[in-house]
Amino acid sequence: RKKQQQKYIIQFMGREVYTKNILSNVRRIWTDELGKKEKDLKDIKIYIKPEENKAYYVINGDITGSVWI
């Protein structure tokens, strides 16, 4: 069975932001900046605030931060 492909794009103020890029940045923070293992990443919640040009994240319920979008 072929895996269903999904793509989420946020459009605002003449820009397009791909949610997969935001997710990649948050995963990179987890592994590269925090030195954690990918297998220990259990849950990511991302809150996108286009008016602030930021996406806020919560990893595993207790690690928080933000990335520019």
Would you say residue 69 has pLDDT above 80? Answer: yes
pLDDT at position 6: 85
Query: Which DSSP state fits 6?
Result: -
Model confidence over 21-42: pLDDT tens digits? Answer: 999 999 999 999 999 999 999 9
Distance CA 65, CA 42 (A): 16
Helices marked H in the chain:
19-28
Task: Specify the pLDDT at position 39.
Answer: 95
> Which range, of 1-5, 6-10, 29-33, 36-40, averages the lowest pLDDT?
1-5
Percentage with pLDDT > 90 across the chain: 87
